[in-house]
Chain A
């Protein structure tokens, strides 16, 4: 890794700067360095090296002092992150604690963050589904926000490009609302999931159950060995960091790949304060960084800048990048920067039991689940709410242990559990409609330790979300009942936005500079050598887990930037 001499402007000058080393930043870095661009990746957090820095990865359950439970003091001090499903004793070191990085909640919002090499790509749920034109055409058809400036055909080759490298396990299901990708062998559905799939296929012509498409290596092993990655071993302990490189993270895949080219410089503990805009040149010339430890300010320069700081932090950096030309934030001529933030609605779930197929069980573990692609309002508007929801679906044999009594009887019961019925469950992933009233902005007074304004988040559910929850629970109840599932119970956990960890928007793409911030190549309309290819660029949210789309945007835009640099357009 290059030895940075901060006294020399030349040594602080690169071809490209990527802000953020997570899911999408890692992809920009990979594409740039492969194409020969000297690339600086700025990461605000500490270094987490693949394999070396996964301290819990090989611990047995009984080697965790509290068997996975996070200490009470940590939970009380950090109520936001403590609500995250993946925040456990064995993973807590990869999450931002509330107290370390405060933000302002004008409306309650659980902002889950990972400040380290790889960002949240170490921690994600690894579900990767493509968008289809039913998703890209949604805003235009249904008359909300603005039309996406691209369609499926624009992104399809980049989905393929990303999927091949990442490794995606999936089944070719032939669904036009969820296009097939470049798949490695699929994981298995359980017996009850397969039963439900068959039942639903028979009973409904608009609904399907499929095995999740997940970023795990299940084939083509020689190809992935070149990345130093092996096949998924089904440990299902992914968020500890995988010692096999079985799932995709920036740490295991794109960053080491970029480093091998010799063109990558990584700088950790580098908090980007703002992007520097040069009025005479009419473009951005670099970024201003605060060293997280020394608080010293340093500037780095490049011809092209990619902002991949995670959706809300990307908004923060742009809002904080003010100049005479852009007094309200970089590229913010229309005042829309920070507005139209949206997310996925994960509030509702349903569970039940199935008394058939009792002669079967499952074996091993599966870091994946079943998936129900969106079926509501896909081809035409059919409900009184806009858009729809996808859903997870999983079913496993329940194991019943009698915990009554004490003594030899109890001990005997504990050692002789019995199989109960199949336990089935589903959770919704609803599209939310971006609105001007759901926004982030900079707190006018409060600043963090690095002198950067705190981000204020004001994001709420609306009536459309409530109607969708009701419909999801009704439809899934009907589907469960028709399959003969019993003991059905439904739940709205009333979680606040953010816990889905799918926050999006604020720097939306669009055709017109008057109504959007980014063009069809993810360049700021008003400052084209700055690209945004993380969740902030999303015009609408649809229902797919979004990371795959961010990665495809990052790869596509990086290649566009390389071409534009060659043509001397940037």
Chain B
């Protein structure tokens, strides 16, 4: 059953009640997140690059840039996390270029695709020589870890819970209509996390 049919059926059931499928975030919420987390456009670009490094856009399947995942990350950080979590996240973000310069000699924003991927993997794998920046007072490795890990978690969530994935790639049915407790899995059948 596709979405249009479902909506039509719902309209019948609900006596033509108006449906308001608002999509993603309003511009205001995004701006408010920029404002309250005090992030600059330059920092947003760094975040966007990190998101894209985590889930790259591709010709076959869309990725972080295509789906504006950075906006999801920012709105979630702004609305759904504690002050402490926000502080660590923004510290990590604001100092990310400085951090990458001290460990690999290059700003994150100047890295090519392979370099940024290698760097992010090193952070995730805790494979960073922290002695290179231990004297700085601006940020700690915990801030960097917090920023990268939280961004990864939210990027994955924003990607998997996007309209794009939940309609086209792994369809979610708002109105499944029924339930079967025992269905034989077919050979080569693709697993749908929203099935």
- A residues touching B (Cβ–Cβ < 8 Å)? 51-52, 58-63, 65-67, 69-73, 76, 187-191, 193-194, 230, 233-235, 237, 243-244, 359-366, 399, 401, 403, 405-408, 410-411, 414-419
- Structural contact, B191 and A399, CB atoms closer than 8 A: yes
Cβ distance A44 to chain B, nearest Cβ, rounded Å:
27
- Structural contact, A417 and B191, CB atoms closer than 8 A: yes
- Structural contact, B23 and A233, CB atoms closer than 8 A: no
- Structural contact, B156 and A188, CB atoms closer than 8 A: no
- Structural contact, A61 and B172, CB atoms closer than 8 A: yes
- Structural contact, A71 and B80, CB atoms closer than 8 A: yes
A233 with B181, Cβ < 8 A, contacts A62-B162, A65-B75, A416-B191 known:
no
Further pairs besides A63-B23, A405-B124, A407-B56: 7, Cβ < 8 Å = A61-B172, A62-B163, A72-B79, A72-B81, A364-B180, A407-B54, A408-B58
A406 with B14, Cβ < 8 A, contacts A65-B29, A411-B61 known:
no
Q: List 20 A-B contacts (CB under 8 A).
A: A58-B7, A58-B10, A59-B21, A63-B163, A65-B24, A188-B179, A188-B180, A190-B181, A233-B176, A234-B176, A235-B176, A363-B180, A363-B183, A365-B179, A403-B156, A406-B152, A407-B55, A410-B54, A410-B156, A415-B170
A110 to B3, CA, bound (A): 39
Cβ distance B7 to chain A, nearest Cβ, rounded Å:
8
1/0 contact trace for B1-42 toward A, CB 8 Å?
Answer: 001000100100111010101111100010000000000000
- B residues touching A (Cβ–Cβ < 8 Å)? 3, 7, 10, 13-15, 17, 19, 21-25, 29, 53-56, 58, 61, 63, 75-76, 79-82, 117, 120-121, 124, 152, 156-157, 159-163, 166, 169-170, 172-185, 190-191, 193, 195
Cβ distance A420 to chain B, nearest Cβ, rounded Å:
10
A6 to B39, CA, bound (A): 57
Contacts of B15 in A (CB 8 A): 51
Contacts of B185 in A (CB 8 A): 359-361, 419
Cβ distance A394 to chain B, nearest Cβ, rounded Å:
11
Cβ distance A237 to chain B, nearest Cβ, rounded Å:
8
Contacts of A362 in B (CB 8 A): 179-183
4 closest A-B pairs (Cβ-Cβ)?
A188-B181, A364-B176, A190-B181, A364-B179
A58 with B177, Cβ < 8 A, contacts A51-B14, A406-B53 known:
no
Interface of A is mostly: loop
- Structural contact, A62 and B180, CB atoms closer than 8 A: no
Contacts of B169 in A (CB 8 A): 415
- Structural contact, A365 and B176, CB atoms closer than 8 A: yes
Residue of A nearest to B159 (CB): A414
Contacts of B117 in A (CB 8 A): 406-407
Contacts of B152 in A (CB 8 A): 406
- Structural contact, B75 and A234, CB atoms closer than 8 A: no
Partner among B14, B58, B81, B162 whose Cβ is within 8 Å of the Cβ of A411:
B58
Cβ distance A364 to chain B, nearest Cβ, rounded Å:
4
- Structural contact, B177 and A234, CB atoms closer than 8 A: yes
Contacts of A410 in B (CB 8 A): 54-55, 156
- Structural contact, B124 and A406, CB atoms closer than 8 A: yes
Cβ distance A72 to chain B, nearest Cβ, rounded Å:
5
Cβ distance B140 to chain A, nearest Cβ, rounded Å:
22
Cβ distance B24 to chain A, nearest Cβ, rounded Å:
8
Cβ distance B79 to chain A, nearest Cβ, rounded Å:
5
Contacts of A365 in B (CB 8 A): 176, 179
Contacts of A415 in B (CB 8 A): 61, 169-170
- Structural contact, A52 and B17, CB atoms closer than 8 A: yes
A406 with B121, Cβ < 8 A, contacts A66-B76, A194-B182 known:
yes
Contacts of A58 in B (CB 8 A): 7, 10, 19, 21, 174
A361 to B169, CA, bound (A): 20
Most A CB contacts (10 A, CB to CB) among B24, B172, B182, B183 go to B182
A67 to B25, CA, bound (A): 11
Cβ distance A504 to chain B, nearest Cβ, rounded Å:
32
Partner among A67, A70, A235, A359 whose Cβ is within 8 Å of the Cβ of B157:
A67
- Structural contact, A60 and B166, CB atoms closer than 8 A: yes
A194 to B183, CA, bound (A): 13
- Structural contact, A193 and B181, CB atoms closer than 8 A: yes
Partner among B58, B63, B166 whose Cβ is within 8 Å of the Cβ of A62:
B166
Contacts of A360 in B (CB 8 A): 182-185
Contacts of B177 in A (CB 8 A): 233-234, 364
Residue of B nearest to A76 (CB): B82
Cβ distance A8 to chain B, nearest Cβ, rounded Å:
35
A363 to B190, CA, bound (A): 13
Cβ distance B60 to chain A, nearest Cβ, rounded Å:
10
Contacts of B75 in A (CB 8 A): 65-66
Residue of A nearest to B21 (CB): A63
- Structural contact, B17 and A69, CB atoms closer than 8 A: no
- Structural contact, B175 and A235, CB atoms closer than 8 A: yes
Cβ distance A406 to chain B, nearest Cβ, rounded Å:
5
Contacts of B156 in A (CB 8 A): 403, 410, 414
Contacts of A363 in B (CB 8 A): 176, 178-180, 183, 195
Cβ distance B166 to chain A, nearest Cβ, rounded Å:
5
- Structural contact, B80 and A61, CB atoms closer than 8 A: no
Contacts of A364 in B (CB 8 A): 173, 176-180
- Structural contact, B17 and A51, CB atoms closer than 8 A: yes
- Structural contact, A72 and B80, CB atoms closer than 8 A: yes
Partner among B24, B80, B174, B195 whose Cβ is within 8 Å of the Cβ of A69:
B80
A72 with B53, Cβ < 8 A, contacts A61-B166, A65-B29, A234-B176 known:
no
Contacts of B191 in A (CB 8 A): 399, 416-419
A411 to B14, CA, bound (A): 39
Contacts of A407 in B (CB 8 A): 53-56, 117
A76 to B177, CA, bound (A): 37
Residue of B nearest to A60 (CB): B174
